[in-house]
Structure 1
């Protein structure tokens, strides 16, 4: 199995873990889902000139495309890790931290550039709500990548 395929599989597994931890956090704390993915879709559509439609149709498109951005980020971080790691045996803890960082950068940087968030202004609980799922992403993705070697 080549490194890009391993990276994709690892990114998919990591994304599943991230989503599971996020949904469990919502259930335990009783918090609502983040609106940032939908706002990202809306902002990106405006930047590239795509009409999402009106009313309920536009809201449904944003609700569908928001998670697609997250899957793209998770798969992309896995692919990039596959390129970076190559054939090297990266220790799982190091891989987990690198993958966590790639996923966090891939999600937060575009939203920051789009003016939707500013991590410098996040509270401790907002940081925890972001770091913990991304750490789950990194741990699972690194484990899968190493297991597929």
Structure 2
């Protein structure tokens, strides 16, 4: 079980690093700014939890850091859960990648949607 959990964490870490590389590469290539959604989600979660993040620049920095950490938690948590559920079985490997990607996306987008930070119905298919 420990070995499966470690493999899942490694898979989650790998997926998170790849996502960050693609995201920051896209930002550099197109010259686009980063998304404010993770920071806004972190701010709203902190508000619901009764956690004060400070004021001004200090608050903005904490929101940004907490938003990034939530992304790592989503990626690593998805990998860990996969590792624990999968065990040693090697079934449907061709389906595993897309399902893990969907689970990781849900882990980050569902809280943001539930908190009213974003609405997937308003997302466009173009960048």
- 5 Å-filtered alignment, 1:1-149, equals 2-125=3-126
What secondary structure is seen at the aligned counterpart in 2 of 1:125? Answer: coil
> Over the residues paired in the alignment, what is the CA RMSD in angstroms?
1.3
- Say how many residue pairs are matched: 126
Could you list the runs of 5+ residues in structure 1 that have no partner in the other structure?
127-149
The CA deviation at 1:109 is 0.6
What secondary structure is seen at the aligned counterpart in 1 of 2:126? Answer: helix
Normalising by the residue count of structure 1, what TM-score does the alignment of the two structures yield?
A: 0.80
CA distance in structure 2 between the partners assigned to 1:48 and 1:125 by the alignment: 35
Could you list the runs of 5+ residues in structure 2 that have no partner in the other structure?
none
Name which structure has the greater RCO, CA cutoff 8 Å, separation 6+.
1
Normalising by the residue count of structure 2, what TM-score does the alignment of the two structures yield?
A: 0.93
Offset from partner CA, 1:16-52 (integer Å, 9 cap, x none): 0000000011111221100001101110010000000
The CA deviation at 1:81 is 1.0
